[in-house]
């Protein structure tokens, strides 16, 4: 099997605030070469790098807003976030946990720092991905998967190298905890200094990684520091990472859906006509009700 080469290493873009609770670097779709078609099925990635929020009596976050046509996946590294949506889904995630919300036919939702975390303040660090849905599933029923770290399947690397947490997909026979609508892999890799992990995905899967903590060496020759994003070429199946210091790396790889993408704000469909319909449905209250 051929080695998958690096296409580009991308430093974090200038941060901006989403609401008042998420200070994010957007990689997908605004960074160089990371448009929605290139990264399909991953159509958005916001990264809240480690940032200190002072104590607040009023939880910071994002108030009620709609989504249709895709899934939101929130991965917590530091801090706690609470989620509520109009389909009845909701919960709190903290370090190591995952929220996987399928907006599909349409939901309203809100995201805030968890109340106790807000009162105490502290470091906050999270990734939010948007995962596209195939056309046949875009109008399916919304659902919510709250996945605690204890529920996430884990693969122990040899020689005390670390642990691969399999959020979705599989790693060397260990099956992920989340259900998905199209084939994809989402792996949190925790490496001890000198620890090494090998990965193998089909050549046509769009594949990338984000260094959350520490620094790594990719394919034994490319040094990648904290908060940098690595996009791989679609020219092989295998690559390896090795920790130059204790490191946490989010690895993502997915089979392209290869359907037209029409995106407008919180709606991602296949045609502009479907976008107009989504806006009309939202304005007519068809996404349900959620208190501010």
pLDDT at 1 over 90: no
For 99, the token pair is 């929220």
CA-CA distance, 11 to 49, in Å (whole number)? 12
SS3 286: coil
Instruction: Using alpha carbons, list the distances in angstroms from residue 193 to 6, 38, 166, 204, 244.
Output: 22, 32, 21, 31, 6
CA distances from 138 to 13, 149, 178, 252 (A): 30, 28, 18, 22
pLDDT in tens, 16-72: 999 999 999 999 999 999 999 999 999 999 999 999 999 999 999 999 999 999 999
CA dist 154 → 135, 157, 166, 238, 289 (Å): 32, 9, 6, 20, 37
User: Count of CB atoms within 10 A of residue 2's CB?
Assistant: 9
Residue ranges and CATH numbers for the domains of the chain are: 6-254 (2.60.120.10)
Confirm if 46 and 83 have CB atoms less than 8 A apart: no
pLDDT in tens, 64-107: 999 999 999 999 999 999 999 999 999 999 999 999 999 999 99
Report whether 195 contacts 243 (CB < 8 A): yes
What value does the mean pLDDT of the chain take? 97
Q: Dihedral of the CA atoms 46, 174, 205, 31 (nearest 10)?
A: 20
- Provide the β-strand partners of residue 10: 229
For 111, other C-beta atoms within 10 Å of its C-beta total: 26
Report pLDDT for 292. 79
């Amino acid at each position: 099997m051929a080695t998958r080469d690096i296409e580009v290493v991308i430093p974090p873009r200038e941060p901006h605030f989403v609401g008042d609770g998420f200070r994010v670097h957007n990689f997908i779709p605004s960074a160089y070469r990371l448009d929605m078609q290139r990264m399909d099925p991953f159509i958005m990635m916001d990264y809240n790098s480690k940032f200190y929020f002072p104590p607040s009596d009023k939880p910071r976050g994002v108030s009620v807003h709609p989504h249709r046509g895709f899934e939101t996946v929130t991965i917590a590294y530091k801090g706690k976030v609470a989620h509520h949506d109009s389909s009845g889904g909701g919960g709190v995630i903290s370090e190591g946990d995952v929220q996987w919300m399928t907006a599909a036919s349409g939901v309203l939702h809100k995201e805030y720092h968890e109340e106790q975390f807000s009162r105490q303040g502290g470091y906050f660090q999270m990734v939010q991905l948007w995962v596209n849905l195939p056309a046949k599933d875009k109008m399916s029923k919304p659902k919510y998967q709250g996945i605690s770290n204890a529920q996430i399947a884990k693969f122990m690397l040899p020689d005390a190298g670390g642990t691969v947490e399999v959020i979705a997909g599989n790693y060397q026979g260990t099956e992920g905890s989340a259900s998905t609508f199209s084939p994809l892999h989402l792996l949190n890799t925790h490496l001890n200094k000198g620890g090494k992990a090998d990965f193998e995905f089909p050549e046509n899967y769009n594949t990338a990684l984000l260094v959350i903590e520490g620094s790594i060496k990719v394919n034994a020759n490319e040094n990648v520091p904290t908060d940098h994003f690595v996009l791989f070429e679609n020219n092989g199946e295998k690559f390896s990472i090795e920790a130059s210091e204790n490191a946490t790396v989010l690895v993502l790889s997915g089979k392209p859906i290869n359907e037209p993408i029409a995106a407008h704000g919180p709606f991602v469909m296949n045609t502009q006509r479907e976008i107009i319909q989504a806006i009309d449905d939202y304005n007519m209250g068809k996404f349900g009700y959620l208190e501010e």
